[in-house]
Copies of this chain bind each other. A is one copy, B any other.
Amino acid sequence: MTAWETIREELLRRIRARDWLPGATIPGEEALAIEFGVARATMNRALRDLADAGVLERRRKAGTRVALHPARRARFDIPVIRLEVEAGGKVHGLRLLHQALEPVPADIAFRLRLPADCRFWHLQTLHLADSAPLMVEDRWLSPHVLPDPAPDFAKVSVNEWLVGNVPLDTGSIDFTAANATEAEAALLGTTPGAALFVVERMTWTDEQAVTHVRLAYAPGYRVHTLL
């Protein structure tokens, strides 16, 4: 355990032991550095780490306070389907179900900040784990990012091709739930109406929409994060 980690644990202990109450101002960086016998930079590292985690709130002049609602932030690993499947000791499979240039539906065009009447590649793919259906991917992909002989998405997952070939910029991820349509249920081997965990990702590069993808997972799937 390094010095700044040890200090961070001690600061956390004081907060959890309620030596420092939520909302209270704690001593300044310099005072704490002297108390713990370290350089200010080391104390800064510990304090900044707790501020990043949402445990402390820091402002110049105002000082450092204990957050009123601690542990408000967490990290999670964005699921990468192939790695997830292979981590479970299974083989990842793909089945490209549909690929065509089609007008982007209005709601998706709006969320991608696209003008009306855009045509994107519409791709539907079934992902398998050891031949068991795991997830249905419904993607709208800008034709402007594809090279002239387009890649064969029956062999390479669109996602993996993108991360390897298109410089991504900004993006967002949403998590929600949806009832399985009849088509989804048939593909995933479940019943229509079953609750599916849905991930929606959008990405832009250089202000240009690249892709919108909706991943609907078979029942039982869950995202797990430690605090």
Contacts and interface: CB of A to CB of B under 8 A. Distances in A.
A162 to B, nearest CB: 11
A96 interface: no
Interface stretch (A102-110, A119-127, A129-137, A170-178): A170-178
Nearest to A22: B164
Contacts of A54: 77
A102 B196 CA distance: 31
Contacts of A219: 177
Interface string A208-227: 00000000000101111111
Contacts of A223: 174-176
Contacts of A194: 179
A171 B72 CA distance: 12
A16 interface: yes
Interface of A: 16-18, 22, 54, 69-78, 80, 83, 163-164, 167-179, 193-198, 203, 205, 219, 221-227
8 contacts: A17-B167, A22-B163, A69-B80, A76-B76, A173-B225, A175-B222, A177-B197, A203-B227
Given A171-B227, A177-B178, A177-B195, 19 more contacts: A22-B163, A22-B164, A69-B83, A69-B163, A70-B168, A73-B75, A73-B76, A73-B77, A74-B173, A171-B226, A172-B227, A173-B225, A173-B227, A175-B197, A177-B196, A177-B198, A178-B195, A179-B193, A195-B195
Return the 5 tightest CB-CB contacts between A and B, nearest first: A16-B167, A177-B177, A176-B222, A171-B227, A195-B195
